[in-house]
């Protein structure tokens, strides 16, 4: 399980015979935090990650590619969403984001929805979730490769673990306000400190308004996130976290694609009705974890997570483009998509030695329940001219119920993992997980129901060779699975999708550990993908897709003045077997080539204040615009400028320019009807006050 701050380090600094005094506790935890910063957060190049193995492990010993986006880079980028970070991580592509209402990225070609996101190691993406805000985020851990052996059902390309900010026993209070010339107004507060000798709190607040791509659209968001840490005794820590995120946002799918001819419409052209009300999104999460030191080198952890989410509202939604290539058919649509996700886990970790071989053993169990409901109503057709739109047409009553369903998923799982240190040079990892999952689906429109129970075993193995202090070579292999939805022509449940992945890589690190790089090659095959049956309207689990590629990341500090983040990838993600698509058909929205570079120079001024100036550039290659690969999204390159002035230890001013040359580009598509335009040039300013 992901633990950004190991409680065992803090507890080890306390007296073993009695509670520490308030001053001693503060000193102990403060020392812990200083160690974490010094060891794990040298600019852009943290040395440890807990997400990849569920144990605190040096990244150079993990036999897979791991990219950590820490606080330093989030601040330099001015990132307010997870989406603001992915351009600077290799192998990540932007996919259809359902009108800007949730996160969806391709990792090595495979979508990150469903189990693609974790929050502190708990499932965080199941159900319907607003785009992830950074106000509560300590770091993003991009974990490449299959995660089935530690987290269960998932896509083989990778997983993103979101580590949230934790309470500290040293008081710190930060407020930040930001604006841009496109109407954005945003404010955040982050306050933490002790409530006594053994209890600390943290509270994050955020409010945001504006920044639409058109004057006909408007956006509002708010977030409240309290957290508490209780040192129950020198061996036991209890953590509680909650997060309430609410958003009123348009369902903005993008610009109409006119038969693959892009650029015929301005990127701010809106073709719904200006009187449409925003979608109402919310996510309410609570997490509770109990850590207990059992003996020297042994710990136990219990955890539980509860999340409710809602997605509800009305929208005039396009359905098709008429043969004249200018009349857009639309329907007024009302939808509600509530969900509840409950999960619990327990694990025991032990460090011990057998002869000259050291082990870090992890065993655990998980259980979860997910409920999702879908209700969608639509009206009769309300056409509009895409080139000369006239708004105000009455959409008519909502008469067609196109979706009405309830789905329940239940999972039980056990897992085991052993990290073996054969010597200073050789590290092995072996793990396996068994999942039993069931699904009950009632489709009221179709008038049918589905009940199934299946199981899967997900193993992985890896080896790392560290020939010296500055490099590491690794190889790994793993399997993962993901359930298929629906039934075949005989009413039987499909076998789950099965994936196998192979990876090899080379990790480098400078002598001062402030600069790191990873080069990885991989080959992934996924089978039992649904494809068309011989019987029209039905599917069979007979498809296969592959993703093979190479990717590189370099991050860290160069000398006293330069911070650097660079990434590049080549990803050949394609269909290899299908009943309707030709072998070699590219997977939609996944570029073969992409790259990014961010460089910042920081120095001091004569008055003792510090400044930083930098620039970034991102390139995304041509991508298939639809499943059949009948049109392409063009490649694009966009640039940004950034700068800040650290007046003193309490005050920082930042100024950024995004899309400096105001390029017109498209980040992703929604099949044949929509393409998603990139943001226009904007100038953003932020003021940060820290006490």
State the pLDDT at residue 12.
32
Q: What is the pLDDT of residues 79-121, one digit of tens each?
A: 999 999 999 999 999 998 888 888 899 999 998 776 578 999 9
Percent of residues, the chain, with pLDDT higher than 70: 92
State the pLDDT at residue 74.
95
Q: Give the three-class secondary structure for 83.
A: helix
Mean pLDDT of the chain: 89
Q: What is the pLDDT of residues 234-285, one digit of tens each?
A: 999 999 999 999 999 888 888 999 988 998 998 888 898 888 888 999 999 9
Return the DSSP state at 60: G
Query: With contact defined as beta carbons under 8 Å apart, do 94 and 677 qualify?
Result: no
Strand partners, 105: 94
Of the two residues 32 and 664, the one the predictor is more confident about is 664
Record the pTM: 0.90
Q: SS3 sequence, 155-215?
A: CCCEEEEEEECCCCCCCEEEEEEEEECCCCEEEEEEEEEECCCCEEEEEEEEEEECCCCCC
State the pLDDT at residue 42.
53
Give the tokens for residue 362. 């992890």
Domain 7-690 superfamily per CATH: TonB-dependent receptor, beta-barrel domain (2.40.170.20)
Q: What is the pLDDT of residues 178-224, one digit of tens each?
A: 999 988 999 999 999 999 999 999 999 999 998 777 666 788 999 99
Map tokens 């009302």 to a residue.
334
Distances (CA, A) of 451 to 49, 178, 434: 39, 50, 20
What is the rounded average pLDDT of the residues 347-360? Answer: 95
Give the tokens for residue 492. 């039987």
Strand partners, 415: 364, 433
Using CA atoms, how far apart are residues 125 and 132, in angstroms rounded to an integer? 10
State the pLDDT at residue 39.
34
Distances (CA, A) of 639 to 224, 255, 395, 552, 682: 33, 22, 41, 20, 12
Q: What is the pLDDT of residues 379-399, one digit of tens each?
A: 999 999 999 999 988 777 888
State the pLDDT at residue 27.
36
Of the two residues 337 and 493, the one the predictor is more confident about is 337
Burial 643-652 (b: 16+ CB within 10 A, else e): bbebeeeeeb
Whether the per-residue pLDDT at 600 is higher than 50: the answer is yes
- Give domain limits for the chain: 7-690
């Amino acid at each position: 399980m992901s633990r950004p701050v190991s409680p065992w380090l803090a507890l080890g600094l306390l007296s073993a015979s009695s509670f520490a005094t308030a001053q001693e506790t503060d000193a102990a935890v403060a020392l812990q935090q200083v160690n974490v910063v010094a060891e794990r957060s040298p600019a852009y190049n943290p040395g440890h990650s807990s997400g990849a193995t569920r144990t605190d492990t040096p990244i150079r010993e993990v036999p897979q590619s791991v990219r950590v986006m820490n606080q330093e880079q989030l601040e330099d980028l001015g990132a307010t969403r997870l989406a603001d970070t992915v351009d600077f991580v290799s192998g990540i592509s932007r996919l259809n984001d359902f009108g800007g209402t949730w996160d969806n990225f391709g990792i090595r070609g495979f979508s990150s929805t469903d189990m693609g996101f974790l929050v502190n190691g708990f499932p965080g993406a199941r159900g319907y979730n607003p785009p992830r805000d950074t106000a509560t985020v300590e770091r993003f851990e991009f974990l490449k490769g299959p995660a089935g052996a530690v987290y269960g059902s998932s896509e083989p390309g990778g997983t993103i673990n979101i580590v949230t900010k934790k309470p500290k026993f040293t008081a710190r209070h930060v407020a930040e306000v930001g604006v841009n010339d496109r109407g954005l107004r945003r404010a955040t507060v982050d306050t933490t400190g002790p409530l006594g000798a053994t209890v600390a709190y943290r509270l994050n607040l955020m409010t945001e308004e504006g920044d639409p791509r058109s004057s006909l659209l408007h956006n509002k968001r708010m977030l409240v996130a309290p957290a508490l840490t209780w040192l129950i005794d020198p061996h036991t820590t209890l953590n509680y976290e909650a997060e309430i995120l609410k958003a009123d946002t348009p369902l903005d799918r993008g610009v109409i694609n006119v038969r693959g001819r892009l650029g015929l419409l301005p990127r701010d052209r809106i073709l719904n009705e200006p009187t449409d009300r925003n979608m109402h999104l919310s996510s309410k999460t609570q997490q509770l974890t109990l850590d207990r030191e059992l003996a020297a080198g042994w710990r136990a952890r219990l955890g539980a997570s509860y999340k409710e989410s809602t997605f509800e509202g009305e929208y005039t939604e396009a359905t098709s483009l008429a043969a004249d290539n200018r009349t857009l058919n639309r329907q007024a649509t009302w939808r509600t998509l509530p969900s509840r996700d409950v999960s619990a886990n327990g694990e025991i970790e032990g460090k011990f030695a057998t002869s000259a071989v050291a082990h870090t053993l992890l065993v655990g169990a998980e259980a979860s329940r997910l409920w999702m409901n879908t209700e969608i109503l639509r009206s009769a057709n309300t056409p509009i001219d895409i080139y000369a739109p006239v708004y105000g047409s009455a959409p008519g009553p909502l008469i067609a119920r196109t979706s009405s369903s309830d789905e329940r998923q239940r999972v039980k799982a056990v897992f085991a993992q052993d990290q073996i240190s054969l010597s200073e040079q050789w590290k092995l990892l072996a793990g396996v997980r068994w999942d039993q999952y069931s699904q009950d689906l009632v489709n009221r429109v179709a008038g049918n129901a589905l009940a199934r129970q299946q199981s899967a075993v997900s193993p992985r193995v890896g080896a790392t060779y560290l020939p010296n202090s500055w490099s590491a070579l690794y190889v790994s292999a793993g399997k993962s699975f993901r359930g298929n939805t629906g039934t075949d022509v005989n009413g039987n449940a499909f076998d789950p999708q099965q994936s196998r992945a192979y990876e090899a890589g080379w990790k480098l690190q400078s002598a001062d550990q402030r600069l790191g790089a990873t080069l990885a090659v991989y080959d992934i095959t996924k089978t039992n993908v649904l494809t068309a049956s011989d019987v029209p309207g039905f599917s069979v689990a007979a498809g296969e897709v592959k993703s093979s590629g190479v990717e590189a990341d370099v991050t860290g500090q160069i000398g006293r003045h330069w911070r650097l983040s660079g990434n590049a990838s080549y990803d050949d993600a394609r269909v290899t077997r299908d009943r309707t698509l030709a072998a070699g058909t590219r997977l939609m929205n996944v570029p073969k080539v992409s790259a990014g570079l961010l460089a910042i120079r920081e120095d001091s001024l004569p008055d003792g204040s510090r400044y930083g100036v930098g620039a970034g550039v991102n390139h995304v290659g041509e991508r298939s615009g639809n499943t059949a690969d009948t049109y392409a999204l063009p490649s694009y390159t966009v640039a940004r400028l950034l700068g800040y002035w650290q007046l003193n230890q309490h005050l920082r001013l930042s100024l950024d320019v995004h899309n400096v040359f105001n390029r017109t580009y498209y980040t992703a598509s929604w099949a044949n009807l929509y393409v998603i335009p990139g943001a226009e040039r904007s100038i953003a300013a932020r003021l940060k006050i820290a006490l």
